[in-house]
A and B are shown apart, each in its own frame.
Chain A
Amino acid sequence: MKIAIHDHPGSFSDRWITYCLENRIDFKKINCSDTDIINQLDDCDGLMWNWNQDDYKAELFARQLVRSLEKKGIKVFPDTNTSWHFDDKVGQKYLLEAIEAPFVKSYVFYSSQEALNWIEKTSFPKVFKLRGGAGSTNVSLVKTKKKARRLIKKAFSSGFPPRNRMSNLKDRFGVLQRDKNLAAVKKIVGGIGRLFIPTEFERFSHKQKGYIYFQDFIPNNYYDTRLVIIGNRCFGCRRYCRKNDFRASGSGLCAYHPELFDKKSIQYAFETARKLKTQSVAFDFVMLNNEPKIVEISYCFPMEGASDNCPGYWDSNLTWHDNSINLQSFMVEDFINKLKMENKTS
């Protein structure tokens, strides 16, 4: 048995490679953007590739490559069930509604007239989001009809850049206020530079237009609950909102103590992951009338920090395991085990 790993330093692949070396798993490093990638994988049983929203190239072909490899009988992480809805809140709206998951009510419109009609009969505030973007980028609170109308006009004319430079800079100021260190200052300087010089991502990503997406605003949530399900394990992280802000994702203000987490949310997370058939999924939950509701989902997340600090995990019987955590090792472990099982049965 042999697997291929798309080696991208700084991504999950670092730890996958370490795991393979430590556990003597036969693997080879490949570059998924090679034109002959399908042939290169002829001698492999599986492929692991941690692509994310910052990789504009992956956006062009990752889903297509994954589906094709699945047709070839090659197992992939993330597979189609795990990744097709990644960084796509519109896709997630359809999917979570379809499987009747507890989802914060969301709305999508593909014509300005329909969107304008809707704002006349809905209530405010609402949360405006672009379909893509992590860490609360491209998310804002819309308090009035007037502001909603302005956003609709923009969505159906010039559109929105996939990265909001100004909001990015503001977030960096938030980090400076929180951390008060040299790294945060450097980030501010970088953010000011980025007001004028687009990143490679911006140059190759296109404007978001032709649709508009809103989500109900759920008040009185001073934190959200991020639960990550990998196989039979659930990891929890409570993320507090930024000061004077309704957004928790990306704030970096985290707590991990197991008592902080509501068992119902953990149960919902396991159930939903099972319905989705995902290999790895992170849920962001908020509370609506004491009921946990999903805001969005994602198969991947930042590697260091939050996820490493969890003091253990729950299994699907909701039993707590006081273990050290390495989410990326769990992913590759599950992946290899599944491959071994399939090899045995075939």
Chain B
Amino acid sequence: MKIAIHDSPGSFSDRWITYCKENEIDFKIVNCYDSDIIQQLDDCDGLMWNWSQIHYKAALCARQLTKALEKKGIKVFPDTNTSWHFDDKVGQKYLLEAIGAPLVKSYVFYSKQEAFDWVETTSFPKVFKLRGGAGSINVSLVKTKKKARQLIKKAFGKGFSPISRISTLNDRFWIWRRDKNLEAVKKVLGGFGRLFIPTEIERFSPNQKGYIYFQDFVPNNDFDTRLIVIGNRCIAVRRYCRKDDFRASGSGIKAYEPELFDRNNIQMAFETAKKLKSKSVAFDFILENNEPKIVEISYCFVTGKFYDDCPGYWDSDLKWHDEIVNPQYFIIEDFLTELNERAII
């Protein structure tokens, strides 16, 4: 058995490669952007590729390549079930509604008039989001009809840049105030530079237009609950909101004590992951009338301390395991187990 890994330093692939070396797993490094990638994988049983929203090239081809490889009988991480809705809140709205998951009520419109009509009949505040973007970028609170109308006009006019430079800079200021270190200062300076020089992602990503997406604003949530389900394990982080802000994702203020987490919520995460048939899924939960509701989902997340600091995980019987957490190892362990099972069959 042999697997291929798309090597992208700083991504999950770093740990996958380490794991393969430590466990003497036969693997080869590939570049999924090569024109002959399908042939390159002829001698492989599986492919692991951690693409994310920062890889604009992946947005052009990752889902297509995954689908094609699945037809070829090659196992892929992330597979189609795990990844097709990644970084796509519109897709997630349809999917979570379709499987009857507890999603915070969301709305999408593809015509200006329909969106305008809806603004007249709904209540505010609402949360405006672009379909893509992580760490709360491209997310804002809309308190009035007037503001909503402005956004709608823009969505059906020139559209929104996939990355809001001002909002990125604001976030960096916030990190500076939180951390007060040299690293944060550097980031603020970088953010200033980025006001004038677009990143590669910006240059190659199209403006977001032709649709508008809103989500109900659920008040009185000073934190969200991020639950990551990988196979039979659930790891948890509570993320507190930024000061004077409703957004928790990307705040970096966190807590891990297992007692903080509601068992119903963990149960719900396991059940939803099962319905989605996903190999790895991170849920962002908030509470609405004491009921956990999903804000969004994502197959991937940051590598490193943030999740490594989790003191353990729950299994699907909700039994706590006081063990070292390495989500990337969990992913490759499950991937290899399934490949081995397939080989036996």
- Say yes or no: B204 contacts A67, CB within 8 Å: no
Specify which of A61, A71, A110 is in contact with B110 (CB 8 Å cutoff). Answer: A61
- Say yes or no: B90 contacts A64, CB within 8 Å: yes
Q: What is the CA–CA distance of A64 and B98 in the complex, to the nearest angstrom?
A: 11
Chain A residues positioned under 8 Å from B60 (CB to CB)? 90, 110, 210-211
Please report whether the interface of chain A is mostly helix, strand, loop or mixed according to DSSP: helix
A94 and B57 in contact, given A35-B107, A60-B110, A110-B33 (Cβ under 8 angstroms): no
- Say yes or no: A35 contacts B98, CB within 8 Å: no
Chain B residues positioned under 8 Å from A94 (CB to CB)? 37-38, 61, 64-65, 67-69
Chain B residues positioned under 8 Å from A276 (CB to CB)? 71
Chain B residues positioned under 8 Å from A195 (CB to CB)? none
- Say yes or no: A35 contacts B206, CB within 8 Å: no
Enumerate B3-59 residues with CB–CB distance to A below 8 Å. Answer: 33, 35, 37-39, 56-57
- Say yes or no: A64 contacts B39, CB within 8 Å: no
- Say yes or no: A90 contacts B108, CB within 8 Å: no
Chain B residues positioned under 8 Å from A98 (CB to CB)? 38, 68-69, 71-72
- Say yes or no: B64 contacts A95, CB within 8 Å: yes
Q: What is the CA–CA distance of A88 and B91 in the complex, to the nearest angstrom?
A: 19
Q: What is the CA–CA distance of A210 and B110 in the complex, to the nearest angstrom?
A: 26
Interface residues on A, range: 35 or more
Determine how close the nearest CB of chain A comes to the CB of B277; give it in whole angstroms. Answer: 9
Greatest chain A CB density within 10 A among B71, B91, B211 is at B71
- Say yes or no: B65 contacts A64, CB within 8 Å: no
Chain A residues positioned under 8 Å from B107 (CB to CB)? 35
Determine how close the nearest CB of chain A comes to the CB of B243; give it in whole angstroms. Answer: 33
Taking A67-B94, A99-B71 as given, write out 5 further A-B residue pairs in contact, using a Cβ cutoff of 8 Å, ordered by the A residue number: A64-B94, A72-B98, A108-B61, A110-B60, A204-B209
State the A residues within 8 Å of B (CB). Answer: 33, 35, 37-39, 56-57, 60-61, 64-65, 67-69, 71-72, 84-85, 88, 90-91, 94-95, 97-99, 107-111, 114, 118, 204, 206-207, 209-211, 275-276
State the B residues within 8 Å of A (CB). Answer: 33, 35, 37-39, 56-57, 60-61, 64-65, 67-69, 71-72, 84-85, 88, 90-91, 94-95, 97-99, 107-111, 114, 118, 204, 206-207, 209-211, 275-276
